Homo-oligomer: A and B are copies of this chain.
Amino acid sequence: MKTKINLTLAVFLLSALTTMAQNLKSFTLEDLIPGGNNYFNCSIKNLYDVQWWGDRCIVPDAEEIKAVNPRNGKENLLFTVGEANRDFAAYTAVKLPRVFNLYGTTFPDPDRPIAVIRFPEYVVYYNFEFRHVDHVIALGKGAANIDLAPGGGAAAYTVGDCLYVSRTAKAADIRSLSPEFANPATAPQDHDLVYGQAVHRNEFGIMKGTFWSPKGNRLAYYRMNQSMVTDYPQVNIETRIATMEPDKYPMAGMTSHKVTVGVYDLATGKSVDLEAGDPTDRYFTNVSWSPDEQKVYVIELNRDQNYAQLVRYDAATGHREAVIYEEMHPKYVEPQQPLTFLPWDDSKFIYQSQRDGYNHLYLFDLDTPVTPEVKQADGGGTCKETVKVTPLTEGEWLVQSILGFNEKKKEVYIASTEVSPMQTNVYAVNVKNGQRRAIGNSEGVHAARLSASGNYLIDNYSTPDVPRRIDLIATAGNKVTKTLFTADDPWKGFNVPEIETGTIKAADGETDLYYRLIKPVNFDPAKKYPAIIYVYGGPHAQMLQNNFRYAARGWDIYMAQLGYVMLTIDNRGSSNRGLAFENCTFRQLGTEEMKDQMKGVELLKSLSYVDADRLGVHGWSFGGFMTTNLMLTHPDVFKVAVAGGPVIDWKYYEVMYGERYMDTPEANPEGYKNADLKQKAGNLKGRLELIIGGNDPTCVPQHTLSFIRACIDAGTHPDLFIYPGQGHNMVGRDRVHLHEHITRYFEDHLK
């Protein structure tokens, strides 16, 4: 490949099938797009619900549950669906439903032969050794967000906006933790008050609203008052006469909701609120428990999101005891992981922080107080420690997750980007000295589960050449003891285009950016092809990794089949590259990101086989913002663009994500104006189609409709399509229709 761009990574040539193409099948969108009628067959296969029960690997299937001994790979049958049904029928306290298959069965207790089987209204703890139902917990009708207590003594769940705790098979024993809803006549309406669900719009790593203490005796939970938040008026057109379905949506700069954290004590049946003070304009994140269940830790942020405090509360009284740690940054601080206490020492926990520029592990020793002082951190901010803090990991790579511990070896297991930002590999880190050793192979992208002892790993991974493999690994010798599963190439027999990756320099002239380039099938270097950039470009996402075929998207493959060159670049601002790489976009979303994407245009223009007069761009959500912005900022470069669910004006986006990166409209008027695509509506020259879900609750329709309005006022002519009833992303069959529609637009105007 002749380009003027410095290619720092080898170009991987995955397939050179041109000469044999005549024997190969062509893809349809039904093969490549989720929702398509052949999509499953064309997807990489997996084993579902593979998990640990202590140190035994459980492989559920529909009919039976087998345990694999990871030391020697030997299997033994634990129980069958018939046995479970026989034993369920013998249970008399309540009539249990029939089990139809065993997928979804879990084994939460490493030391007891208990399988947990869930029904809509019951959670059954089945002792498969003694062949009887150990106990049952009833759930209310419509139960959601079901969270089972460690030890199996209780379940927390929500129905509507209310939170419940159940401990027995009897519905009458269920306790409500939402006193305001007791009287239907005065109950809050319209989601004014929401209990036990994720808050702060799922930012700050928040994915749920209930947090059981380690032994299951106490439950911390969120309570969100959003009565003061303005409704966004969504409309349901599927009713006889269209109806309004208001959705609480706090927009950047506007009044936000108020969150409190309650703690329910199973022994007393009473709740206390953490005494956090006035919750106005504050974020309560990463709720964590001390091992002894006496303390609750919360990482608290101010609305500006530039000041985080790790606060300790007394779980029994809610009393605010101490601020353990503080972190400040002139741009933003973004805690995303709760505390992880060492299993062998209740006085020490691991805190994850980007304070030194990359997410790393810091060991906090509660038993060793230090004199607090504000220290400069390598990431450009400051921090203040009140206890001794020891960095466990460091370097220009980042920890992606903690997998668990090996108590005997005093190791913590992590997944990280140490090998490459394009990879996820597993390491054991010695907690005493920080020394690391690799577990599993050094290639590709690994999703791993550590056994209870830490002696074994289920390693589910793929590489550019390996669709998927699931190995059992003995962590001591880093040896594969058994391969549980090997997936076939699901695109075998198809005419798969060439997929290359490499790096180019970012617009800063220094940073390497990874790209993925897909060439048209039956590639002829003498031809001139149109090219399309598929872009996301926003924080918390990475479009390419070293997994199978570099995570090439189905639609990209399809377009390559139709004769397009497809390029994707993870620009500055995207994930897995560290803090500075991400936060260079602060208060100016789109600006640096676009500069980097234009480096991708330079790459395309350097390719002899790309027709520079036929460049297109497509993206969704933040990628829709990027797409629209690129089309309007570089109207002579791009001829055709399709922007899906785009952000058009950050002031219509929500408080938590929006203000983290942009501050408020009041504090950053210039930044908001520069990023407001309505201001550029008059620049449109080529063809731009905007596509949205008619009820998008994330990028609300006001974005795209106000942009259309601005274009009309400016005398320019975008196109528009709406998927009525859909949200931020098209799901089901609509996703196939969507890609037919997008394809047609490029075929109409770029071909």
Contacts and interface: CB of A to CB of B under 8 A. Distances in A.
A241 B235 contact: no
A489 interface: no
Given A237-B705, A242-B701, A722-B722, 17 more contacts: A230-B241, A233-B244, A235-B235, A235-B701, A237-B701, A237-B706, A238-B706, A240-B254, A240-B651, A241-B249, A241-B254, A242-B702, A694-B705, A708-B724, A712-B724, A712-B734, A719-B719
B740 A237 contact: no
A249 to B, nearest CB: 7
A705 B237 CA distance: 7
A234 to B, nearest CB: 8
A267 B720 CA distance: 60
A297 to B, nearest CB: 35
Contact of A724 (B231, B709, B715, B725): B709
Contacts of A734: 712
Interface of A: 230-233, 235, 237-238, 240-244, 246, 249, 251, 254, 651-652, 694, 700-702, 705-706, 708-709, 712-713, 715, 717, 719-725, 733-734, 737, 740-741, 744, 748
Contacts of A230: 241
Contacts of A232: 241-242
A702 to B, nearest CB: 5
A720 B233 CA distance: 21
28 contacts: A230-B241, A232-B241, A233-B235, A233-B242, A233-B243, A233-B244, A235-B701, A237-B705, A237-B706, A238-B706, A240-B251, A241-B251, A241-B254, A242-B700, A242-B702, A706-B724, A708-B721, A708-B723, A709-B723, A712-B737, A715-B737, A717-B740, A719-B719, A719-B721, A720-B721, A720-B722, A722-B722, A748-B748
Q: How many copies of the shown chain assemble into the complex?
A: 2
Contacts of A709: 237-238, 723-725
Contacts of A737: 712, 715, 717
A243 B701 CA distance: 12
A243 to B, nearest CB: 6
A701 B706 CA distance: 17
Contacts of A741: 717
A699 to B, nearest CB: 13
A702 B230 CA distance: 24
A256 to B, nearest CB: 13
A671 to B, nearest CB: 18
Contact of A237 (B251, B254, B651, B702): B702
Contacts of A715: 733, 737
Given A244-B246, A254-B241, A744 B717 contact: yes
B708 A722 contact: yes
A11 to B, nearest CB: 37
Nearest to A749: B748
A276 B232 CA distance: 44
A722 B705 contact: yes
A227 to B, nearest CB: 16
A240 B254 CA distance: 10
Contacts of A708: 721-724
Nearest to A239: B702
Nearest to A235: B233
Contacts of A243: 233
Contacts of A231: 244
A374 to B, nearest CB: 39
A575 B209 CA distance: 64
A720 B720 contact: yes
Nearest to A250: B241
A723 B712 contact: yes
| Most interface-central of A244, A701, A724, A740 (chain B CB within 10 A) | A724
A734 to B, nearest CB: 6
A501 B705 CA distance: 42
A674 B238 CA distance: 20
Nearest to A744: B717
Contacts of A719: 719, 721
Contacts of A702: 237, 241-242
Nearest to A703: B237
Instruction: Give 5 closest A-B pairs by Cβ, nearest first.
Output: A233-B244, A709-B724, A705-B724, A242-B702, A230-B241
Contacts of A744: 717
Contacts of A237: 701-702, 705-706, 709
A507 to B, nearest CB: 34
A741 B687 CA distance: 12
A232 B236 CA distance: 11
A743 to B, nearest CB: 10
Residue among A712, A719, A724, A725 facing the most chain B CB atoms (10 A cut-off): A712
Contacts of A723: 708-709, 712
Contacts of A717: 737, 740-741, 744
Contacts of A700: 242
A719 B243 CA distance: 24
Nearest to A716: B737
A554 B296 CA distance: 73
A211 B205 CA distance: 67
A450 to B, nearest CB: 44
Nearest to A707: B724
Contacts of A733: 713, 715
A237 B721 CA distance: 17
Contacts of A652: 241
A24 B442 CA distance: 76
A404 B722 CA distance: 53
A720 B704 CA distance: 13
Contacts of A249: 241
A433 to B, nearest CB: 54
A237 B717 CA distance: 19
A708 B713 CA distance: 25
A257 to B, nearest CB: 14
A706 B705 CA distance: 18
Contacts of A251: 240-241
A82 B304 CA distance: 63
A242 B717 CA distance: 23
Contacts of A721: 708, 719-720
A684 to B, nearest CB: 13
A245 to B, nearest CB: 9
